[in-house]
């Protein structure tokens, strides 16, 4: 009698696209394990990520707005969930492996710093080898989670996590040698962009950092004038382009791509790098930098606070500790070591 996993593996072969990554054909894990009777390899990875401490901490990590006074602004966790939802819609429409897509999406930002990209900027400047949150996400799942044992994820999930990040760079890889190894990884990469452009714009409008009328007319015409219409336009375009392609190419059509780039440039200039947002980031950068240098210089205190659970050089250990913090935990440690405590005479 076949196990539930084996039945699901057979179902994948019958239902999924020839371009999909099959769980039964995974390149494997860093450390070999016995297979589960119930779940496929990618389903196990998804579950391991959801149950990870680093995943739960995303709830209290900044997306764009630091300590916003409102319940409806995105955090790093809600961003992750929106990327997952968009990725799954695209994968299902293209008959790709939805479990793999979901696992990559849920794990793609596990290594992100507190205070969003402000924290990443500081650590990138302070560390000799630099710091990139996608590489840190791999470090988290390989070496930091489960008290240093790691999550032992599959090659396909780790590859998708590593290759999701774009910044201001190319949305789609021109060099196939450095592209995600799976179509599912490519879906998460573009879904990350769709998610953050849409929800960061939504949050910026709510915070009155910008006005709807400031959006380029071309963006409003081609991509949409509401949050839902913008997501719908981009998602449908990705699906339509892929379905018309002989190789299931994950891309935008020319007109949409041109306006996505225009929207991204607009967001960097008017939101991410605006005085209203960046002014608060400067404060966050100073706090994070001072705490990093303090722990680097005070090994005993660092060992106590970090419970001496990290490995590598001193810089790497401190970076692992700092990057894993939530915004509020970092602020509490800064207050503990840099802000004088009140005292009284008795």
Distances (CA, A) of 18 to 95, 181, 183, 285, 297: 9, 15, 11, 47, 54
**304 in a domain, yes or no?**
no
Report the percentage of the chain scoring pLDDT > 90.
81
| Residue 80 confidence class, pLDDT cut points 50, 70, 90 | very high
In 3D space, the residue among 215, 194, 189 whose CA is nearest the CA of residue 204 turns out to be: 215
Q: Is 154 helix (H, G, I), strand (E, B) or coil?
A: strand
- If phi > 0 it is left, if psi is from -120 to 50 it is alpha, else beta; for residue 225 that is alpha
Question: Cα separation of 70 and 74, whole Å?
Answer: 10
Q: What is the pLDDT of residues 14-23, one digit of tens each?
A: 999 999 999 9
Q: Which of 188, 219, 202, 155 is nearest to 80 (CA)?
A: 188
What is the signed CA dihedral for 94, 99, 101, 104, rounded to 10 degrees?
A: -170
Is 318 in contact with 292 (CB distance < 8 Å)?
yes
User: Looking at residues 301-323, what average pLDDT do you find?
Assistant: 92
- Average pLDDT for 279-288: 86
Residue 50 belongs to a domain: yes
- pLDDT score of 68 more than 70: no
In-domain check, residue 228:
yes
pLDDT of 171 higher than 90: no
User: Angle 271-273-279 (CA atoms, 0-180°, nearest 5)?
Assistant: 100
pLDDT, average across residues 141-164: 96
Tokens at 138, concatenated = 């791999």
Count of CA atoms in the C-beta half-sphere (13 A) of 95 = 11
- Please state, in angstroms and rounded to a whole number, the distance separating the CA atoms of residues 264 and 192: 13
| Alpha-carbon distance values, 56 to 18, 66, 143, 156 (Å) | 35, 18, 17, 23
With cut-offs at 50, 70 and 90, classify the pLDDT of residue 308: confident
C-alpha–C-alpha distance, residues 302 and 296, integer Å: 8
Query: Which tops the pLDDT comparison, 140 or 308?
Result: 140
Q: Name the band, by pLDDT with cuts 50, 70 and 90, for residue 74.
A: confident
DSSP 29: B
Q: What are the beta bridge partners of residue 62? A: 75
The pLDDT confidence band at residue 304, using thresholds 50, 70 and 90, is: very high
Task: Please give the Cα distance from 252 to 261 (Å, whole number).
Answer: 11
* 31-52 tens-digit pLDDT: 999 999 999 999 999 999 999 9
pLDDT at residue 11, as a whole number: 97
- The predicted pLDDT at position 277 comes to 75
Segment 228-237 mean pLDDT: 98
Residue at 250 is within a domain = yes
List the single range of 53-62, 138-147, 167-176, 199-208 with lowest mean pLDDT: 167-176
Q: Residue 314: inside a domain, yes or no?
A: no
Bigger pLDDT: 110 or 272?
A: 110
pLDDT at site 307: 87
Structural domain harbouring 95: 4-276
Q: Is pLDDT larger for residue 308 or for residue 56?
A: 56
pLDDT value for 207: 87
Confidence of residue 111 (pLDDT cuts 50, 70, 90): very high
Q: Which residues of 262-295 are buried (b: 16+ CB within 10 A; e: fewer)?
A: bbbebbeebbbeeeebeebbeebbebbbebbebb
In a domain, 302, yes or no: no
Structural domain total, the chain: 1
pLDDT at 63: 84
CATH number of the domain encompassing residue 249: 1.10.3210.10
CA-closest candidate to residue 112, choices 79, 160, 87, 152: 79
For residues 167 and 72, the model is more confident at: 72
Residue 103, class by beta-carbon neighbours within 10 Å (0-12 exposed, 13-18 middle, 19+ buried)? buried
8-state DSSP, 192 = H
Does 99 have pLDDT greater than 90? yes
- Judge whether residue 278 has pLDDT over 60: yes
Answer yes or no: are the C-beta atoms of 136 and 120 closer than 8 Å: no
Mean pLDDT score, 128-143: 95
Q: What is the pLDDT of residue 66?
A: 67
Whole-prediction pTM: 0.95
As a residue count, the chain comes to 346
8 domain-assigned: yes
Flag whether 176 is in a domain.
yes
């Amino acid at each position: 009698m076949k196990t539930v996993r084996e039945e699901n593996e057979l179902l994948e072969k019958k239902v999924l696209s020839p371009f999909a990554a099959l769980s039964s054909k995974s390149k494997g894990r860093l450390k070999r394990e016995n297979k589960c009777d119930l779940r496929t390899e990618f389903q196990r990875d998804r579950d391991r990520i959801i149950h990870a401490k680093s995943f739960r901490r995303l709830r209290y990590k900044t997306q764009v707005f630091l300590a916003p006074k409102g319940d409806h602004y995105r955090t790093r966790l809600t961003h992750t969930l929106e990327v997952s939802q968009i990725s799954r819609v695209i994968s299902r429409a293209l008959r790709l492996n939805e479990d793999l897509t979901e696992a990559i999406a849920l794990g793609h930002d596990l290594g992100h710093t507190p205070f969003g990209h402000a924290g990443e900027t500081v650590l990138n400047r302070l560390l000799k080898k630099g710091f990139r949150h996608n590489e840190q996400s791999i470090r988290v799942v390989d070496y930091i989670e489960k008290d240093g044992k790691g999550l032992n994820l599959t090659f396909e999930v780790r590859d998708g996590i590593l290759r999701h990040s774009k910044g201001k760079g190319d949305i789609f890889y021109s060099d196939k040698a450095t592209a995600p190894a799976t179509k599912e990884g490519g879906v998460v990469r573009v879904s990350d962009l769709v998610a953050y452009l849409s929800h960061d714009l939504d949050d910026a409008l709510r915070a009155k950092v910008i006005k709807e009328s400031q959006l380029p007319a071309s963006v409003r015409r081609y991509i949409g004038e509401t949050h839902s219409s913008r997501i719908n336009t981009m998602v449908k375009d990705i699906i339509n382009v892929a379905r018309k392609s002989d190789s299931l190419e994950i891309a935008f059509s020319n007109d949409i791509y041109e306006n996505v780039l225009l929207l991204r440039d607009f967001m960097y200039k008017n939101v991410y790098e605006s005085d209203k947002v960046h002014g608060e980031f400067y404060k966050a950068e100073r706090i994070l930098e001072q705490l990093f240098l303090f722990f680097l210089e005070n090994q005993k205190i660092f060992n106590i606070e970090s419970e001496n659970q990290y490995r590598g050089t001193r810089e790497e250990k401190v970076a692992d500790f700092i990057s894993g913090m939530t915004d509020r935990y970092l602020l509490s440690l800064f207050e503990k070591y840099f802000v004088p405590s009140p005292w009284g005479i008795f």
